[in-house]
Amino acid sequence: MKCVICKQGEVAPGTATVTLRRGECILIFKDVPAEVCDSCAEYFLSEAVTEKLLQRAEAAKSAVPLAVVSASTSATDFGIAAVITS
């Protein structure tokens, strides 16, 4: 599939590092299963993955101010690499 952003690269299954901001809390998810462009490195998340990220974000933002959680690399699960609050 051609990338819709750069219209040059090919999009293929891979993993991405996704940063989400929830209020004052910044969450970094690593090894998130995504479709990744081989040219511009833009990533595209499935609805299921996006939903899971948002659930994780909601759960994490009320947790400790700074958390580093190791990531799982399975396609259906992934960890929060870091939670940063200002």
Site for Zn ion in 42-71 (CB under 5 A): 42
Coil, helix or strand at residue 9: coil
Site for Zn ion in 17-36 (CB under 5 A): none
Among 26, 28, 35, 39, binds Zn ion (CB under 5 A): 39
Q: How far is CA 7 from CA 10, 11, 45, in A?
A: 8, 10, 18
- Can residue 5 be called a binding residue for Zn ion (CB under 5 A)? yes
Total residues contacting Zn ion (rule CB under 5 A)? 8
- Can residue 40 be called a binding residue for Zn ion (CB under 5 A)? yes
Distance of CA 36 to the CA centre of its chain: 12
Of 5 and 28, CB closest to Zn ion: 5
Name every residue whose Cβ is closer than 8 Å to that of residue 3 and which is 6 or more positions away in sequence.
Answer: 9, 10, 11, 37, 39, 40, 42
Give the interface with Zn ion as residue ranges (CB under 5 A).
Answer: 3, 5-6, 9, 37, 39-40, 42
